[in-house]
Amino acid sequence: MGNRRLRIGLFAAFVLIFLTCHTEAALYRSYIYDSWGMAVPTPDPYLPARVIYGEDIGAGDLKNPQDIYVAPDKTLYIVDSGNNRIIRTTSFFEVIKIYKEFERDGVVDSFNNPQSVYVTHDGRLFVADTGKERIVQFDADGNFAAMIDKVQTDMTDAFPNHFRFRPKKIAVDPFDRLYVIVDGLYEGLMKMDLEGNFLTFVGAPRVALTLWQYLWNRIASEEQRARMALVLPTEYSSMHMDEQGFILTTISGGEIQLDHFVRKLNPSGADIMKRTGVHPLIGDLDLGIGTSLEGNSRFVDIVGRENELFSVLDQQRGRVFTYDGTGRLLYVFGGLGQGVGLFVKPVAIDELNGQLLVLDNRTNSITVFEPTNYATLIHNAINEYHRGQYDEAANLWHQVTGLNANYELAYSGVGDAEFSKGNYAQAMLFYRVGNDRAGYSKAFYRYRRELLGEHFGTIMTWILIAAGLRYISSKRQWRARLVHKYHNSQLAAALSRERVKNNRFYSYCHRTIQAVRYAGHVIFHPFDGFWDLKYENRGTFTSATVLLLIVVASYVFVRQYTGFVLNYNRISDLNVLMEASSILLPFLLWCLVNWALTTLMDGKGRIKDIYIAGAYAFTPMILINFPVTIISKYITIEEGTFYYLLLAIGVIWSLALLFLGTGVIHDYSFGKTIFTTLTTIVGIGVVCFVGLLFFHVIDTMVQFFREIYLELTFR
């Protein structure tokens, strides 16, 4: 009997432990994108605490709900569109009032497919009664106060002929100006007063035309333009007015700028959203190509939070993305599916006392998400930083790294704290670990200024000493003494030159060195230089190969050793052979295709001449790449303009020399050289296409014979 009770007790304990673990485990995966755009798993920032249905709060089943709104007094409004009602509850989901019918001018009225609500700080309720094309206002006691069912304006040209006032989302600023998202209206947010007088449109999203669309619009006739598909800006999908009076908006997709799916509008409609994060504000970076969830994230709602944070709801994949005020992604959670914490069709999100509420209009339910210690630490660290408590913020960020060592934003947060305390060297260290180039650049600028200020006297002293020594050494008497002093070394050099003449190997090396040095003459005197390379044999195949290898080395050097603030390459993934081939293969293709074409166009250059001239033409890249890469380690992002300018000069200079060298070695006129250059570029494209086609055919044949072999083997 005792053993049976023990077994029952152990079984009950096991079930209890299982259920406890089951409720704490999320059915979705939480992650964040690192600096390279890779999804990195993270601890769950939020976990589902409960799922609430209409019958749970005593209001009956919900039907196709469209919005959930947390009022300033922390009461909750549920827009139950399918039942044509608004449900008001406490923060504990206890029903306070249900708005279904109301008395207007002695007549009982009701809603028809309401889409959203907005509550002011003084308790006034505004309802977007979309089905009846109006906005209904109630006072703080829940009584009917006013109604806007018609837009009053003299600017009839501002609206399309098919315009119907079907409000979807509404917001009211502290000055009683009403902002409305109207269904089917693409001119932006409609701004009006509480009497229904139209003021203006604000924040119209810009249309991003493709180059082809722009060119076609320029050359098309009136009839062709009329038959073209109308390109419209995408309408806003949601908006939220934050505590500062700015309007956070979402655009669910369309032909707009890639990083403008989330916007922050001031009262005049200008987008003031800060976008200093590594990645654009587009939700998922992985577009899921080839899957059922292919495409960009589709934002359907947004909620502003403390310290300028905001969370956006992605209906495409059922995920919640939270960003800080500068556009940096903090965490991601959620997903599509059947189960606690998953959604079928999420439509709205809001925050209540630190909890996130997500409304699903397919399951007719509200999922309440509680923050975990991980999210709480992140929020507290940001809050302490905004309060100026930098030591506390740094300590909290360190705790975050203890939970997630791959959380780059935590290291960047410690860097922010150290920077604010004036510890610039320490800040640079954390910024680098966090891959925060903007922060590193800012800290490096201050650190460099400190060092220069501290050691300015010493630096100037050494500069003056060096200048004085240079001046003294230029005097004739000192020059004579130096000549006398190094007489023996000059004699040794003469003997070495004699040995070179009598030794084939040394002679070959000496000639190669002289040919390499001649590249300095070629880049400044291209016409004489390329002529001498061909007809005076001033260049050799070996010297050209040496120069080409140095060019490749300089390119790899740039890719790998450019300063941190300007180097966006993932060094651990750099393949030296691939980097080298990206220079060698195009160069060799140029030589081959140019030779093949010029033999048919009376060109006088041999393939060896083309190779030598091409290698010598890239000498400016050698002279610029190495020193510029070293300098890049000591400049900021703002000064990086000069870095890119110098690299561009090296490339343009080299290409110009390649063009001139082609004309000289083939003895072409300027016009014929242009034609030859263009046909060579086209020829390279043809060769690449044929090569890819050839390998594709070979791969297809191999797969075909492999399948036949497997079929015969298994039979």
Q: How crowded is the C-beta side of 362, counted as CA atoms within 13 Å?
A: 10
How high is the pLDDT of residue 14? 39
306-333: average pLDDT: 94
Q: For residue 468, what pLDDT band results from cuts at 50, 70 and 90?
A: confident
Task: Kindly state the percentage of the chain with pLDDT values over 70.
Answer: 86
575 has pLDDT over 50: yes
The pLDDT score that the predictor gives to residue 506 is: 74
Whose tokens are 């050097």? That residue is 557
Q: Is the per-residue pLDDT at 550 higher than 70?
A: yes
Q: Is the pLDDT of residue 10 over 50?
A: no
Per-residue model confidence (pLDDT) at position 20: 38
pLDDT at 369 over 50: yes
Q: Where are the domains of the chain?
A: 30-371, 373-485, 526-698
Return the exposure string of 310-340: e unless at least 16 CB atoms fall within 10 Å of the residue's CB, then b: bbbbbbbbbbbbbbbbebbbbbbbbbbeeee
Average pLDDT over residues 292-311: 90
First to last CA, the chain: 61
Q: What residue type is 26 in one-letter code?
A: A
Q: What is the pLDDT, as a whole number, of residue 21?
A: 40
Taking 50 as the threshold, does the pLDDT of residue 18 lie above it? no
One-letter amino acid at 207 equals V
Containing H/E element for 699?
A: helix 670-714
Chain segment 124-178, per-residue pLDDT in tens: 999 999 999 999 999 999 999 999 988 888 777 778 778 889 999 999 998 899 9
Q: How many CB atoms lie within 10 A of CB 567?
A: 17
The more confidently predicted of residues 188 and 475 is 188
**Which of these, 654, 644, 543, lies nearest to 590 by C-alpha position?**
654
* CATH, domain 30-371, list 2.60.40.10, 2.120.10.30, 1.10.1040.10, 3.90.190.20: 2.120.10.30
- Of the given ranges (69-73, 115-119, 220-224, 516-520), which has the lowest mean pLDDT? 220-224
* 226-235 mean pLDDT: 54
pLDDT at residue 710 in the model: 81
Of 303-312, 460-469, 691-700, the range with the highest mean pLDDT is 303-312
CA angle 666, 669, 670 (to 5 degrees): 115
pLDDT reported for residue 210? 58
Q: Is the predicted pLDDT of residue 344 greater than 80, yes or no?
A: yes
**pLDDT 10s digits, 470-512:** 777 665 554 555 455 555 555 555 545 555 555 677 778 888 8
**29: its two tokens:** 């995966």
Work out the percent of the chain whose per-residue pLDDT is above 90. Answer: 62
d(CA 301, CA 270): 20
Distance CA 102, CA 655 (A): 77
pTM to 2 decimals?
Answer: 0.81
pLDDT tens figures, 425-450: 999 999 999 999 999 999 999 999 98
State the Cα–Cα distance between residues 153 and 287, nearest whole angstrom. 43
pLDDT at 5 over 60: no
Give the total residue count for the chain. 715
Query: Please, what is the Cα angle at 437 between 432 and 441, to 5 degrees?
Result: 95
Cβ 482 vs Cβ 473: under 8 Å: yes
Chain mean pLDDT for the chain? 86
**Is 201's pLDDT higher than 60?**
yes
pLDDT of residue 229: 46
H or E segment and range at residue 321? strand 319-323
What values do phi and psi take at 306, rounded to 5? -70, 155
640-647 average pLDDT score = 94
pLDDT of residue 19: 36
pLDDT at 15: 35
- Which helix (H) or strand (E) segment holds residue 239: the answer is strand 236-241
In degrees, rounded to 5, the angle at the alpha carbon of residue 28 between the alpha carbons of residues 23 and 32 is 125
Among the ranges given (2-11, 123-132, 257-266, 388-397), the one the predictor scored with the smallest mean pLDDT? 2-11
* Per-residue model confidence (pLDDT) at position 46: 97
Domains 30-371 and 373-485 share a fold: no
Domain at 373-485: CATH code: 1.25.40.10
Pairing type for strands 46-53 and 365-371 reads: antiparallel
The amino acid that residue 345 corresponds to is K
What does the pLDDT read at residue 221? Answer: 65
- What is the average per-residue pLDDT within 232-254? 81
Question: What DSSP character marks residue 565?
Answer: G
